[in-house]
Every structure is written in structure tokens, then in C-alpha cells.
Amino acid sequence: MKHLAIILDGNRRWAKAQGLPTFEGHRRGYDRVKEIGLAALERGIEHLTVFAFSTENWKRSEEEVGYLMDLLLKALTKDLDFYMKHQVRLKVIGRRTGLSDKIQAAIAEAEDKTKGNTAGQINLCINYGGRAELVDAVKDIVASGVNPEQVTEELISSKIWMKDIPDPDLIIRTSGEQRTSGFLTWSGTYSEILFVEKPWPDFTVEDLDAAIDNFSNRDRRFGGNSK
């Protein structure tokens, strides 16, 4: 497996079950991203993509959104030495418009500073939505004056936010929900899917290893015959 993607679900429910503030759930969830991210890269996975903040998450309370944005800013600035130490590249996937100028500048700096790192890449999906990704790709194609007959799957793949990143082999969603919620709508077409009951803050390295083992025992046919 070269690319693992995870829908980080259950931070708020985990916090409520523990009798903790919602913010603590998000903080623990971010710490888990760092732990699982390093473990995944150590196991030969080249890309870990995490669904951290969707285009729909803006509907949450102003206080919660503000905390999530502060957490993102921390990841891109104060924690940058952590990613440099472990040779991790950072990439933010999603609409930059809507994010503050401060965060946009931090994204650009973090991506530039870590671009030469060699251990692997963590892709943070922020202000991301699968339909929004396709809408923006289509707008780009229309603006470039391409004739309808020239529109191909390869052209669309070259315009989406996930361009230059291999399609995910496996998508995991934690916390028991069994839907993808618009995550990697285009690039995840043939991804294997694994639903895990545990909320994201409880997801362990052992759970990661179990998921990798589960994936290795699947027969991926891509619409063709079984091997």
C-alpha cells in the first residue's frame, strides 16, 4: 500500500464520552494524526491523507471553527520542527479561499520548507469537499477554453486538488459511520474502504497494522476478473 486516507471521525463524541470539552477531542485527534502519520510512513506508506476539515464544517459554532483553525495554524508553524525532524512533507489540500491570510501564508511556508523531506507526505484536507474539488476542476477546464471533445479523465485528474498524488489504496473512516461524506470523490473511486468502530482519538498503531493486514488480504479487481 502506497497511499492511505483516513476520515478523522469521532473527536467530539470521544470528548463527550470522556466528560471532556469538545476542544480536547480535537486536540487529541491532532496528536493522533502525528502518531499514526509517522507509523504509517515507517511502514512504507508514502502518502497519508487525512480529512480534517470539510467545506461543511464551517456550519459549526464560531468558537469551534476558531479552535480548529488555531490547531491548523499550530500544525503549520509551531509543530513544523517536528515534521522537519522526521523528514515529513506537508501538503494542504482544499480551497484556500475562505482561509485567513495568516493561515494561507503559513500553508505556503510549511509546504515550501518541507518539500525536500524524504520520509513521505502527510496531506491535510482542509476546507475540502469532493464536489467542490470537481467544481473547481471544471471551472479551470472551462476557463482554459478546452473543447468538450477534449475533456478526458486524465485531463480532469490533472486539474483536481489531488493532482500529482497517487489515488488512495485504502480509505478508513473511524467512529462507526459508514459513508465517505464526499471524501476524495474522484481519486477514491477504486479505493478499498474500511469502517472502524473506534473514534479517531482511540485509533492506535495496532489498529493501523490491523487495517494494513486487512487490506493486504483483499482482492482488488478494479472492475475486472478475480485473480
Neighbouring C-beta atoms of residue 212, cutoff 10 Å:
18
Contact 26, 11 (CB under 8 A): yes
Contact 198, 174 (CB under 8 A): yes
Distance CA 139, CA 149 (A): 16
Residues in contact with 132: Cβ distance below 8 Å, sequence separation at least 6, in sequence order: 55, 94, 95
Distance CA 133, CA 155 (A): 14
Please give the positions annotated as active site.
9, 57
Beta-bridged to residue 114, according to DSSP, are none
DSSP string, 25-47: HHHHHHHHHHHHHHHHHHTT--E
Q: What grid cell was written down for 63?
A: 468558537
Distance CA 84, CA 103 (A): 19
Measured in whole angstroms, the distance separating CA 200 from the mean position of its chain's CA atoms is 13
Distance CA 175, CA 13 (A): 9
Contact 206, 42 (CB under 8 A): no
